[in-house]
Structure 1
Amino acid sequence: MTTTAAPSPFQAETPANGLMYLDNGATSFPKPPEVYAFMDSFYRSYGVNPGRSGFDLCIEAGSMLDNTRKLMTEFFGGTDPNRLVFGYNSTDALNLAIFGTIGEGDHVVSTHIEHNATLRPLWHLSERGTQVDWVDFDARGYVDPAEIIGRLRKDTRAVVMNHGSNVLGTVQDAAAVGRACRERGILFILDVSQTAGMVPVKMDELNADIVCFTGHKSLMGPMGIGGMYVREGVEVRHTRAGGTGVRSAQRHHLDEYPWRMEYGTPNLPGVAGLNAGVKWVMSHGLDAIHGHEMALWRRLRNGLAAIEGVTLYCQEDCGLPRISVLTFNVDGLEAADTGTMLDVDYNIACRTGLHCTPMVHEHLGTDKLHGAVRFGIGPFNTEEHIDRAILGVSEIAAMQRKRQR
């Protein structure tokens, strides 16, 4: 391991108390200064309910909402900004997409890589008569597209799939799966929670019918904002109803997008933060951001792999597409204990447990260990952060080996 630690090319405010934040898989932190500034200034100046009245502030608020739809539509390679709908997060969007397109008697294919944002809606549907086929991942952490395609049937309604694993960091070959779905007239619903803002996510390239995203991870926005883009020709049933500020005398919820899938007052400060976050990402470029993060990932991966008593999970540097999360355990220690020591003794923030992905941990056998430790690298991390994380894990592993002798 080299001793010279280069700074990050991206600048942000330093977290309080010198915290080394390596939990970007849960949420990116800190945010770019532009995000904080725009959220504050816009909400102070235009924090009124958009689309409900005709005074100037209301029009300006609505204009920012519309402009962000256009921005996100461009980001995902869509064609109609009205089909970019906002919600709370990707869990919210996945619930709308899954319950709005899949029903009793349908057949669905999904994977063991999935987050509970997908697993739980599908489990609930399976109790109502939906048939779900689950496809496992291989020793490297990838789902073979041929395995998914082989499960498709004449009565298959949809494939619901995670683009990038929040535990293993592997990016799946969604384009191949989507192509097979498109040829067969099967819906392809893609969860891009971890990949949007880190690697390209374009509707046509991935052959996706619905992409569900959250704003608070690599899109660098705040918590509480996300949504989905619904491809033209794809319809999602109403599963909710409420206020839209449009045609209030109509009893039935509106059928037109975006109001078809949006309910009540929007999260205006959240949309403002998403607007600023995505502009920051686009200004720096996905290649530059991802390249920086993956260089740190390789440094971390190589450092941890050299430590006796540390087990890495599907973290081979195999040259296949991946994102910058890394999961491991120290032999003989519960993941939570490792995380506590990293926090208390080294001031390093990480994530421990099952990461809302029980099937991943059941496959790895880490469910019996109450999960694993996850480092999530973001654009504001530096080589110094990585080297301190390696040092911390090395010392924890050495203490554990000493105890076991």
Structure 2
Amino acid sequence: MSKIRHEVFDLDFYFLLIYSLLPGIGKIIGINLMLLYVPMLIYWFIKKDKTLYKIDIPFLIFVFFLLLYIFVSYVAIPTNKIGIILGIVLDFFPMFGYFLFRNEKSVNSFALKLITVIFIHGIIGIYLYPFFGIANTSNNIVKALTDGVAWGRMASVSGSLGFGNLIMIGFILSLYFKPLLAPFFFSLVIFSMQRSSWMGSAFAIFLYLIFLLKKGYLKRFNIVLSIIMILVIAVIFFVPKFINFDFSYLINRFSKLFSGISESGGVRSSLWQNGIDNFLEYPLGTGFGQVGQVGARYVDGAFKVCPDGDYFRMLSEYGINFIIFFGFIVLCFIYLFFFSNMNLEDNCFFSVSLSTAIQMIGSNITEFYFDNFLFWIFIGINIKKVRVLLVQRTRLIQGCIT
């Protein structure tokens, strides 16, 4: 027990926790603490193992051109200067996560730390959820934390969109590392009311069941499938009969799951077209913080906004640099899926990245800087895994030749 406590509750854990809670702390004290995480992140980056490999070259080139284009966009095109600064804070610095945990001796300990951090956010979400009636809604702290949260949606310290993605990650990690917590996280994913998180979680469950079948874990497969079906049926049909809670909004969201996604896609299609139009006019990109949530809500930019759809925002802001690097990521993931025999840990981190990628189609979750930070952590872990597999295969071929 003491060994587990030492592995989980160390400096990394407290950094992750503070980093994730900064938006809430800022709301409570009335000061925007967005910039506070930057020196924390730089210090953490310096202390960590940052061993570089040949497979990191595409990422380094990607980052180099992003940095170079900060100066180009600042001078050569009509960018909003405040937007550039906000974009660097929200988008660029979280990319440091690519290096931070991929060389850990035990990825299990990282997973347990992150599960614990996300569990804390889940407890905060339950406490603040107005439908449960736990928190005093007249309390100033509660008002500050729930300010801007859409009606009927669960959130912790930022919004339901970032919360839904964070809880989805907790759910996926718990499936593999802490199965007893999976029902807890699964329930909170539902109460986030974020259909993109539902779809991402459903896809993760699909990958998990495939993994169990491939490994021959038929008993566990049947147990997991049964629990999931019971949970869904209970939430939709039985829980409303025994708990004094208005489930009509939740049921309505479920009943219109696919039609709602189709409607949302119709609404977002014009925003996605904005992203394409920006790219066609500025193929090298508009620069950080010009067309996403920052551009739509906080600054008046000179470009068409794209606040819903990470890929189209990145296409606008990063330009052809985005196409090249994310094409490389796609190739790495294809290699992992079709040409590797992933173990439990590998499959877990692979599932997290793919489920996040699904949400990014219609949502700008990477503009929530902690979610963005986690996105790059898992990208780094998965690309490192590709490197390990390629090295093993090369050695095997050399061994056969000699």
The TM-score, its normalising length taken from structure 1, stands at: 0.29
Structure having the larger proportion of residues in strand: 1
Structure having the larger proportion of residues in helix: 2
